[in-house]
Copies of this chain bind each other. A is one copy, B any other.
Amino acid sequence: MSTPGKTVPERRPTLQSIAAMAGVSHQTVSNVLNAPDRVAEHTRARVLDVIEQLNYRPNETARSLARRSTRLISFHIGAGHHNEASMLDPFMRELAKVGAEHAYRVVLDIAGDEDEDQIASYEELHARRSVDGVVIPETHVGDTRPAWLVEHGMPTVAFGRPWADPDPRHSWVDVDGGHGMRLVAEHLLQTGHERIAYVGPPRNRGMEDDRLDGLLAGLVDSGVEPDPALHLVVESPSGLRQALPALLADHRPTALACRDDAFAFEAIQVLDELGLRPGEDVAVTGFDDSDLARICRPQITSVAQPIREVAELIWESLLAQLAGTAEAPLRRLTLPRLVTRDSTTTWSPA
């Protein structure tokens, strides 16, 4: 029974102590661990024996200091509110999982919401050498963060395109939202829809445009001329309550392609209140394939982001940058897939 509050320092074995017990030099022990092929069979066996007996593991901090690498990367987010159906959290988990496969770990860093706050935080991370790299999980138009990181030689990958940045020098991975919305368009057209409305926030030269334009392009490609009236702009889902009825009454869309699941969910509820059966009378689609899309009724057809693939690509680039083998910045658009559910499959023309 240990004295409470007095955690005994507990001396753990070190490279030295293992070496002493095995009757070899510290470096040989190190080699057994890091370059086993350099050590003679019998020596290795003996050393491993001692290691096993004492349950030795190298001290990570000492390693980090000597190797000048923490094997930590920062998942860096703002303190602000995140939207409901965001997949940021599952994404962070995925990033940690993939990182673990490469003996890297993810630390969660939270700074203010403004670019300058975040950069101030990077500055600390950088100067204190507390992480090997940074993952920026969201980007916006005019984002100044990636450039700062690149300039300061910090390995970086952004999840999100360098919107409206003519000459990005950093690595990024993003999901092709436009493609996702094309899938939506095709799916809806195939289902028999002719009047498909887009529901989302105003254009922002960034992600909003990507999704909206994707839908429009999808329609055009199938020979459908988009109707500008079938474009409902609301800042946030809560605006739908007021705005959606008019759109429905004036322009009679049969399908609502929404910017994300939160919009789709709200749309469904408004439809319901108006006495329209969501799915059956008016089809609805979302984006992100969040939990919400699965648990609500009707279940929402949604575009699923390949977060596993994104996490893998990010690590690939990060590791290359860390190894110094990165030829050029990674610029990669991944393809989302459509998950069809009741909110579109039960539709039948009036």
Interface string of A140-157 (1 = CB under 8 A from B): 000000000000010100
Choose among B79, B155, B296 the residue that contacts A97 (Cβ–Cβ < 8 A): B79
CB distance from A78 to the nearest CB of B (A): 10
Chain B residues with Cβ below 8 Å from A93 are 77, 79, 108, 110
Chain B residues with Cβ below 8 Å from A108 are 75, 92-93, 96, 105-108
* A: contact size bracket: 35 or more
Q: How far is the CA of A36 from the CA of B284 in the complex (A)?
A: 63
Q: Do the beta carbons of A96 and B72 come within 8 Å of each other?
A: no
CB distance from A66 to the nearest CB of B (A): 9
Q: Do the beta carbons of A57 and B7 come within 8 Å of each other?
A: no
Q: Do the beta carbons of A5 and B100 come within 8 Å of each other?
A: no
A8 interface contact, C-beta 8 A: yes
A249 interface contact, C-beta 8 A: no
Q: Do the beta carbons of A110 and B84 come within 8 Å of each other?
A: no
Q: How far is the CA of A55 from the CA of B123 in the complex (A)?
A: 10
Stretch with Cβ within 8 A of B (4 or more), from A24-32, A183-191, A194-202, A261-269: A261-269
Q: Do the beta carbons of A55 and B127 come within 8 Å of each other?
A: yes
Q: Do the beta carbons of A57 and B128 come within 8 Å of each other?
A: yes
With A57-B124, A61-B64 already in contact, the answer to whether A296 and B269 are too (CB < 8 A) is: yes
Q: Do the beta carbons of A4 and B127 come within 8 Å of each other?
A: no
With A70-B61, A265-B295, A297-B273 already in contact, the answer to whether A2 and B109 are too (CB < 8 A) is: no
A291 interface contact, C-beta 8 A: yes
Q: Do the beta carbons of A5 and B324 come within 8 Å of each other?
A: yes
Q: How far is the CA of A79 from the CA of B95 in the complex (A)?
A: 12
Q: Do the beta carbons of A129 and B296 come within 8 Å of each other?
A: no
Chain B residues with Cβ below 8 Å from A266 are 295
A246 interface contact, C-beta 8 A: no
Interface residues of A in 35-71 (CB under 8 A from B): 55-62, 64-65, 68, 70
Q: Can you add 6 more A-B contacts, CB < 8 Å, to A4-B327, A4-B328, A92-B108?
A: A60-B128, A93-B108, A96-B108, A100-B109, A106-B108, A107-B107
A–B complex contacts, Cβ < 8 Å, 19 sampled: A4-B328, A7-B153, A7-B321, A12-B127, A55-B127, A57-B124, A57-B128, A59-B128, A60-B129, A60-B130, A61-B130, A62-B65, A64-B65, A77-B93, A84-B291, A85-B291, A105-B108, A106-B108, A269-B296
